[in-house]
């Protein structure tokens, strides 16, 4: 049974080269329109681009927020100003204590007591400072204010971003304060509450914000007369220089953040164009081909862009898709050719059956009827064998994909086949020789399928040998491959058939054996071997390789499998 599989048809449309756009003006226009839409509305049409930009901006925002939040310069300035404010409040308290002396305790602001207003007028206060004097009952007995502090730092125009964000935050805070219905306390009441909340005999400093959001430091210092505390000094100092310095520093950070944001968006768009656009090209090409096939009902080829020159995953994806599409079309072409070959092969026995049945109606002699019935029976068996082999061949691809490969000892399998098939050969008077190494050779594969290959090769050799011939099966390991050879001393293979015997439905048989083989055995064997990453070929055994015209001494089939 020296068979062959059908030759692969080369279709110019299957070749996927650089000219991947089909020679169809409509397809070209659709792809151009798709690219134009993508370039104009890439953010709306590309979720991947939006994700890249969003994730990059999230990381940048986290970095900027961390820089602003962890900035320690404001804390350093605030600590210095707080220490200075507390020292100033203690100095004011010392002035009052020096004027009171060590006489019997008096009440501040009481008739005949210390003139609080005159004492306050004698003080030189820092600009932007308010001093309030409270007695032991936390009643206000005097106050003094210095002129507002002059801003010493960048103007609002120079800190445009910080000023805008500050006003925005104040507006949001004002909305929340409005809904909370909280009534703002005056300075005197607020200070009185803070005095009552703390220890009047201990100096302390508090930090807060004013009505316009400026930084305020409030220092409390006790006024003593001897061991007794007769009042408190509350000194409120605005610190605009801190806010201005912090605003200037934040402005620089925010300016760099804006620049970094624009750069990040630009780089994200460039990155997205190198990722999203090629993927969109791949998807558009497939979708256009699919939609046109559905709408027109034809078998127009899907064209995949050739991006294999890219040294990244996009290039690998393009190459993989192009390979898949090419393999798919090769499989479609092979199936079409297989269907055509099947139809052709089935027509021959059907035509013979039709002719025999038609002749059976008109013949009169019994011997002619018997001959025609034998022809009909032969053709029916031939059809049954052909249909069975066709069914097995059509299921082979899917079964090779579904079955899982396992490691097995190839020599053990060949030895078992030699024992079983050697008996059939000896019954025909054929000498059967096996020459296998002693050391096991293990390979990964589908053992039943490879056994089917060697059964086919050995039975094929037995069918061509006669009484007195010999068959030899031997195997040798060569580096990372193993060679299994089945050779016989039969008539050999005609030279014109060496390139055809692996084609489907090809059979080179004697006339007395016509119709007993479907011509699919060697084609199936070749398909199984190639599915395992191996090779198979046939050749004639000659007395000398130099003279190809000499009569062959037999046939040799060689199977090479990877280890």
The CATH number linked to 446 is 3.30.565.10
Q: Count of CB atoms within 10 A of residue 438's CB?
A: 5
17 band by pLDDT with thresholds 50, 70 and 90: very low
Q: What is the pLDDT of residues 40-53, one digit of tens each?
A: 445 555 677 777 78
Q: Do 386 and 502 belong together in one domain?
A: yes
Reported as a single tens digit per residue, the pLDDT across 201-243 is 888 888 877 666 677 889 999 988 877 888 889 999 887 777 7
In a domain, 139, yes or no: yes
> In the sheet where 228-238 sits, what is the strand order?
140-145, 129-135, 228-238, 215-225, 204-209
- The boundaries of the domain holding residue 460 are 333-562
Do both 195 and 337 map to the same domain? no
Task: Please state the rounded mean pLDDT for residues 176-199.
Answer: 68
Q: The CATH number of the domain where 160 resides is what?
A: 3.30.450
Tokens of 432: 């059967």
Q: Is 238:214 a contact under the CB 8 Å cutoff?
A: yes
Please tell me the predicted confidence (pLDDT) of residue 394: 66
184 near 208, Cβ under 8 Å?
A: no
Among 238, 260, 278, identify where a domain stops: 238
Q: How many domains does the chain have?
A: 2
Q: What is the DSSP letter of 4?
A: B
Judged against a pLDDT cut of 80, whether residue 388 lies above it is answered with: no
Domain end position, chosen among 238, 271, 302: 238
Tell me, yes or no, whether 61 lies in a domain.
no
| Domain endpoint, select from 185, 214, 238 | 238
Q: Are residues 428 and 553 in the same domain?
A: yes
* pLDDT for the residue numbered 2: 45
In a domain, 31, yes or no: no
For the cut 60, the answer to whether the pLDDT of residue 181 exceeds it is: no
Is the residue at 391 inside a domain?
yes
Over the stretch 275-313, which tens digit does the pLDDT of each residue have? 777 777 777 777 766 665 555 545 566 677 777 777 777
pLDDT at 485 over 90: yes
Q: What is the distance between the alpha carbons of residues 355 and 324, in angstroms, rounded to a whole number? A: 46
Judge whether 125 lies within some domain.
yes
Mean pLDDT of 103-114: 62
**Same-domain check for residues 213 and 351:** no
Q: Choose among 251, 48, 17: nearest CA to 157.
A: 251
288 is a domain residue: no
Question: What is the C-alpha separation between 419 and 560, in angstroms, rounded?
Answer: 22
Is the pLDDT reported for residue 472 higher than 90?
Answer: yes
Distance separating alpha carbons of residues 303 and 131, to the nearest angstrom = 84
Q: Are residues 341 and 227 in the same domain?
A: no
In a domain, 264, yes or no: no
Give strand pairing partners of 443. 408
- Given a cut of 60, whether residue 457 has pLDDT beyond it is yes
Specify whether 357 is located in the same domain as 228.
Answer: no
Confidence label for 68 from pLDDT (cuts 50, 70 and 90): low
pLDDT of residue 386: 72
Is residue 312 one of the residues assigned to a domain? no
Per-residue model confidence as pLDDT tens digits over 136-151: 888 888 888 888 776 5
Q: Are residues 449 and 555 in the same domain?
A: yes
Rounded CA gap, 424 and 353, in Å? 33
Q: Which residues contact 234 (CB under 8 A, 6 or more apart)?
A: 89, 131, 132, 133, 134, 191, 194, 195, 218, 219, 220
Q: Which helix (H) or strand (E) holds 223?
A: strand 215-225
- Phi, psi dihedral angles at 230 (to 5 degrees): -110, 0
The rounded Cα 196 to chain-centroid distance in angstroms is: 65
Confidence of residue 559 (pLDDT cuts 50, 70, 90): very high
Question: How far apart are the C-alpha atoms of 523 and 505, rounded to whole Å?
Answer: 8
pLDDT of residue 19: 37
């Amino acid at each position: 049974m020296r068979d062959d599989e059908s030759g692969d048809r080369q279709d110019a449309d299957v070749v996927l080269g650089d000219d991947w756009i089909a020679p169809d003006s409509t397809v070209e226009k659709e792809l151009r329109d798709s690219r134009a839409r993508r370039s104009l509305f890439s953010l709306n049409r590309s979720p991947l681009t939006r994700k890249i930009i969003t994730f990059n901006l999230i990381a940048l925002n986290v970095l900027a927020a961390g820089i602003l939040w962890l900035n320690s310069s404001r804390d350093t300035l605030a600590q210095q100003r707080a220490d200075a404010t507390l020292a100033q409040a203690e100095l004011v308290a010392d002035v009052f204590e020096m004027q009171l002396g060590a006489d019997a305790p008096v009440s501040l602001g009481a008739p005949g007591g210390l003139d609080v207003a005159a004492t306050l007028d004698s003080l030189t206060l820092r600009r932007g400072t308010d001093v309030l004097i409270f007695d032991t009952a936390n009643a206000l007995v005097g106050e003094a204010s210095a002129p507002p502090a002059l801003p010493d730092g960048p103007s609002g125009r120079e800190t445009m971003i910080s000023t805008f964000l500050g006003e925005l935050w104040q507006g949001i805070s004002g909305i929340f304060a409005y809904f909370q219905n909280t009534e703002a306390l005056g300075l005197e009441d607020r200070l009185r509450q803070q005095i009552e909340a703390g220890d009047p005999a201990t100096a302390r400093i508090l930090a807060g914000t004013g009505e316009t959001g400026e930084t305020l430091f409030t220092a409390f210092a006790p006024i003593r007369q001897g061991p007794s505390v007769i009042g408190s000094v509350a000194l409120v100092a605005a610190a605009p220089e801190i806010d201005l310095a912090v605003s200037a520093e934040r402005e620089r950070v925010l300016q760099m953040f804006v620049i970094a944001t624009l750069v990040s968006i630009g780089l994200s768009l460039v990155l997205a164009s190198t990722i999203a656009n090629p993927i969109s090209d791949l998807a558009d090409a497939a979708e256009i081909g699919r939609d046109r096939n559905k709408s027109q009902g034809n078998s127009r080829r899907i064209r995949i862009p050739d991006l294999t020159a890219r040294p990244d995953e996009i290039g690998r994806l393009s190459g993989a898709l192009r390979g898949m599409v090419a393999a798919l079309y090769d499989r479609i072409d092979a199936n079409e050719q297989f269907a055509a070959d099947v139809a052709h092969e089935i027509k021959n026995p059907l035509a013979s059956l039709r002719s025999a049945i038609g002749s059976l109606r008109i013949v009169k002699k019994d011997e002619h009827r018997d001959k025609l019935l034998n022809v009909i029976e032969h053709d029916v068996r031939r059809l049954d064998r052909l249909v069975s082999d066709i069914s097995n061949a059509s299921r082979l691809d899917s079964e090779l994909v579904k079955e899982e490969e396992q490691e097995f000892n190839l020599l053990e399998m060949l030895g078992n086949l030699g024992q079983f098939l050697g008996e059939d050969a000896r019954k025909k008077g054929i000498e059967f020789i096996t020459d296998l190494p002693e050391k096991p050779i293990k390979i990964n594969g589908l053992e039943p399928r490879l056994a089917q290959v060697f059964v086919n090769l050995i039975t094929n050799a037995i069918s061509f040998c006669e009484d007195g011939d010999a068959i030899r099966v031997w195997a040798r390991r060569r580096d990372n491959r193993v060679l299994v050879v089945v050779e016989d001393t039969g008539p050999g293979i005609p030279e014109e058939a060496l390139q055809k015997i692996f084609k489907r439905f090809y059979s080179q048989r004697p006339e007395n054996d016509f119709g007993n083989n479907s011509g699919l055995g060697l084609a199936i064997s070749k398909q199984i071997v190639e599915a395992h990453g191996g090779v198979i070929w046939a050749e004639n055994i000659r007395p000398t390789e130099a003279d190809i015209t000499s009569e062959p001494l037999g046939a040799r089939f060689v199977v090479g499998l990877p280890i």
